[in-house]
Amino acid sequence: MNQEREQQLVERLGRAEAWTTSSSLADALGVTRRSIRNYVASINRHSRNHEIIESSPRGYRLNAAAYAVYRESLSAGEAATPRQRLYDLVRTLVDSDDGVDLYELAGELAVSDSTVESDLGRVRRILPEGLGLSRSGSIVALAGGERAKRRLLSRMFHDETEHGVVGLEAIQREFVPDHLSEFKTDLVSALREAGYYVNDFGIDSALLHIAIAVDRTRKAPVAEEAEAVPDDPVARIIAGLTAQHFDVALSGDDLEYLPSLLAVHAITPLLNDAGRSYLDPKIVAVVRSVIEDVGREYLIDLSDDEFINRFALHVRSLLRRASQRAYSRNPLAGSIKTSYPMTYELSVYVARGLQKRLGVTFNDDEIAYIALHIGAYLSERAQAEERVTCTIVCPTYYDLQTTLRDRVQVMLGDVLDVKMLIARTDVDWDRLGTDLVLTTIEPPVPSPSALVIKPFFSPADADRVRGALPRIRTTRRRRAIKENLLAYFDESLFVRDAPLTGADDTIRMLGDRMVAAGAITSQYVAGALERERLSSTVFADGLAVPHALEMSARRTVIAVAINGSSIPWGGKRVNVAAFVAFSSDSRSDFQTFFDQFIAVFSDGSNLRRIVEQATSFQAFIAELTAILDS
């Protein structure tokens, strides 16, 4: 447990932009400040003279440079952690057909005999069906089929790598000494030429299996007579490239298994004439039905035929993964959830629809892949909507003002929508009404929405404008939700420092208050609990936003629980839980509200401000108003 907490501590400090106090770290991890001090001491003690966590009166911070050197030393193969040692033991057992002498192994690892015995007990507990340990005195051997051994090795390697994300260098370092990068380049190129879309997140996982197959074949060669290559284009590609790059002839069994693995994790037929033959009409019909539900519930149109067909091909691969319970890991899952909460929410809704119709179970990684499909489609359509409205103020001098306007439109037409050109000095600044003002004269009162530019608009001016646009867009969105957002809160639905034990407890407590207020029914509470089981509603550090997927509330309200001591929530901890209930009348406002509400709390300083200052409902509204106005 301590090792897991230490890893969480390092990860949290890695995300922090400034010093972090021991009390906030203790609360985030659900431990005492003394435990935090012990974790820091342990981490620095085991970091081989790299002080990777610095301390000061202001708290703690990660020394990024020292941590990078430390991670590199681990990669170079210096003394292992218990988790790495467990992987090394499994790797040794897989590679040793005649067994391993435990006492000799303890000497090689520079650990005690009892430590190796303890590690062996951990290995025994994680062995899948089809594998077992046999022992004679100090000699231990791994018994079972070759395929089961490879799957164990792959799973252990995934778990041993940081966050379970497989990297090309790590695979090469462990299984094939060279040529893996070139092999990947040629494999991806050949697959694309053969008419496949390649998922780069999944291809490295498939490469791990190919590398294990190459490594095992080299150590235990197949029969000297080469086996026939299956009549499959992907099998022929793998056979040719493994022979070319690694001088290895894979077995027929490998060449049947590895193409199916690629099909499940890494490749999807392109949506061309050949690829359309892979479309399953039943899957297309199910996807279309789910997409229609999305349109009715969220007023978002995803009914484009090309999107539906492309997504149906993805669902086809997903069903194959689900049947094998071999879900693809997605390293972007966490960042998608925090940065694009509405897109992720749509994906959860789609996942539930597919789950009900197809009987398939999803995890967060697979939901994030759905989000990538939806997000890519929506981002193409949203580009025009994201343009910022603009007024140009440039007093007349010959045709300087029109030259300036034309130059701005040429350089920034993709992001700005110029609504007005004011060619005079007596400007009514308060009545301009656009998101942004570009002016060649100083306004009487400085404003964050006004940028002073040169009459001869330069690339440097254009860069300044582009740099200001994220702030301008955020201001516009917050202004759009502020009035309604504040109206959604109610003093009877505000709770401070209640004795809450977890997500279900908090949802039920806030839900009971909302039912008593006549805002929702008990069925809505049940819907929120169901939504929580599909995927945790922790969208940012310290913030949970529980809700049901249907907008079936009697009126739109938000119930808030704020705790100085964090609440355990689906493997994480939160200080703010905002139970959101939307009615069908507010359906059109949900998308803007959801993204911006989470964006406000994604800023750690805003969350801390709310937790520390919002000791009453009135103080909460005052702090939230100040944040929205800032």
Q: Give per-residue pLDDT as tens, 579-616.
A: 999 998 888 888 778 888 888 888 888 898 999 999 99
- Asked if 484 contacts 589 with a C-beta cutoff of 8 angstroms, the reply is yes
Please, what's the b/e burial string for 554-571 (b: 16 or more CB within 10 A of its CB; e: otherwise)? bebbbbbbbbeebbebee
- CA of 213: how far to CAs of 116, 216, 504, in Å? 28, 5, 45
Question: Does residue 470 lie in a domain region?
Answer: no
Same domain, 416 and 355: no
CA distance 539 to 574: 10
pLDDT per residue over 515-571, tens digit each?
999 999 999 999 999 999 999 999 988 999 999 999 999 999 999 999 998 999 988
Same domain, 604 and 500: yes
Question: Does residue 299 lie in a domain region?
Answer: yes
pLDDT per residue over 382-414, tens digit each?
655 578 899 999 998 888 888 999 999 999 888
Question: Does residue 467 lie in a domain region?
Answer: no
CA distance 394 to 392: 6
Range of the domain at 91: 82-160
pLDDT band at 379 (very low <50, low <70, confident <90, very high): confident
Question: pTM value?
Answer: 0.73
pLDDT band at 146 (very low <50, low <70, confident <90, very high): confident
Domain count, the chain: 6
Same domain, 134 and 88: yes
**Range with top average pLDDT, 268-277, 301-310, 415-424, 503-512:** 503-512
Same domain, 448 and 413: yes
CA distance 393 to 440: 6
Burial class (CB in 10 A: 0-12, 13-18, 19+), 473: middle
What is the 3-state secondary structure of 183-248? HHHHHHHHHHHCCEEECHHHHHHHHHHHHHHHHHHHHCCCCCCCCCCCCCHHHHHHHHHHHHHHCC
pLDDT band at 335 (very low <50, low <70, confident <90, very high): confident
CB atoms within 10 A of CB 397: 10
Question: Does residue 584 lie in a domain region?
Answer: yes
Same domain, 487 and 617: yes
Q: What is residue 5's predicted lDDT score, i.e. its pLDDT?
A: 78
Candidates 211, 128, 202, 197; CA nearest to 165 is 202
Question: Does residue 453 lie in a domain region?
Answer: yes
CB atoms within 10 A of CB 24: 21
Q: Where are the beta strands (DSSP E) in 24-156?
A: 53-56, 59-62, 100-101, 131-136, 139-144
pLDDT band at 78 (very low <50, low <70, confident <90, very high): very low
- Chain-centre distance for alpha carbon 583: 29
Which of 354, 382, 410 is at the close of a domain? 382
Question: Does residue 217 lie in a domain region?
Answer: yes
Same domain, 201 and 255: yes
Same domain, 575 and 624: yes
Q: Is the pLDDT higher at 484 or at 42?
A: 42
CA distance 270 to 263: 12
Which of 132, 160, 188 is at the close of a domain? 160
Question: Does residue 363 lie in a domain region?
Answer: yes
Same domain, 205 and 246: yes
Same domain, 437 and 542: no
CA distance 184 to 206: 10
Which of 41, 75, 109 is at the close of a domain? 75
Same domain, 250 and 364: no
- Asked if 495 contacts 561 with a C-beta cutoff of 8 angstroms, the reply is yes
Same domain, 378 and 392: no
- CA of 606: how far to CAs of 337, 476, 496, 610, 627, in Å? 19, 18, 17, 6, 7
Task: Report strand pairing: 572-581 vs 542-544.
Answer: parallel
User: Does residue 497 sit in helix, strand or coil?
Assistant: coil
Same domain, 112 and 246: no
